[in-house]
Amino acid sequence: MNRKTRAEERIEALDTSPDTLAAAQVEAVRTERDEAVAKAEAERDEFLAALQRERAEFVNFRRRTADERQQERGLAGVDLIAKVLVLADDFDRAIETRPADLVDNGWAEGVAAIDRKLRLLLESEGVTAVEAAPGTLFDPREHEAVVSVPGTGRAEGEIVEEVRRGYRLRDRLIRPALVAVAAAPDPDAGPGPGLVN
């Protein structure tokens, strides 16, 4: 009797037939392939997500830089416009103080026409006057109070007079309007006009 060693018994227990070996190899190759495909799909999804993030960031960057360029273009001439507004103020003063004998004068009318052209030019560039008519409520974001006037008969904080026009370029304030504002009535001064004791 031939005694087999334990190693020999194990070898005999192994199925080494060609079909069994081929199936095991095929299964190993399938498992390896499935793992490689899963790894490649995970990498693909990761790269796709990274590409989509980069594309979204680039689109946002382009939009943001286009907006900034547009704002810079629109506001590039702010200094020049501010200087032109000084000329517009001079035209206002000249037209408001023209002597009565020059009312129908052709030369004076020419100056007024130049003022109108200047106003149209400013409007075409997006420059508009700040609303500061008498009776308008004082707004510190658009108005600058230069004097407080008591006893006007207006409510406290209402504009009494516009001293100098204010302007804005599109939605940006270039220069606040200088205004005189109604003050609260002085309680020691007695009743105001129209009030009876």
For the stretch 29-81, pLDDT in tens is 889 889 999 999 999 999 999 999 999 999 999 999 988 887 777 666 788 88
The number of folded domains in the chain is 3
With 0.85 as the threshold, say if the pTM is over it: no
Asked if 169 and 81 touch (Cβ cutoff 8 Å), the reply is yes
Per the domain annotation, does 156 fall within a domain?
A: yes
CATH number at residue 184: 2.30.22.10
Is residue 164 situated within a structural domain? yes
Question: Could you tell me the residue range of the domain that residue 40 belongs to?
Answer: 17-76
The whole-angstrom separation of Cα 87 and Cα 90 is: 5
Question: Is 8 part of any domain?
Answer: no
The total of other beta-carbon atoms located within 10 Å of residue 84's CB is 17
Helix (H, G, I), strand (E, B) or coil at 123: helix
Q: What is the pLDDT of residue 144?
A: 94
Q: Over the chain (197 residues), what is each successive 10-residue block's mean pLDDT?
A: 75 66 78 91 94 94 88 73 89 86 84 90 90 92 92 88 91 92 72 43
Q: How far apart are CA 74 and CA 156, in angstroms?
A: 37
Give the pLDDT of residue 197.
33
For residue 53, being part of any structural domain is answered with: yes
Q: Is position 12 within any domain?
A: no
Judge whether 11 lies within some domain.
no
Burial class (CB in 10 A: 0-12, 13-18, 19+), 177: buried
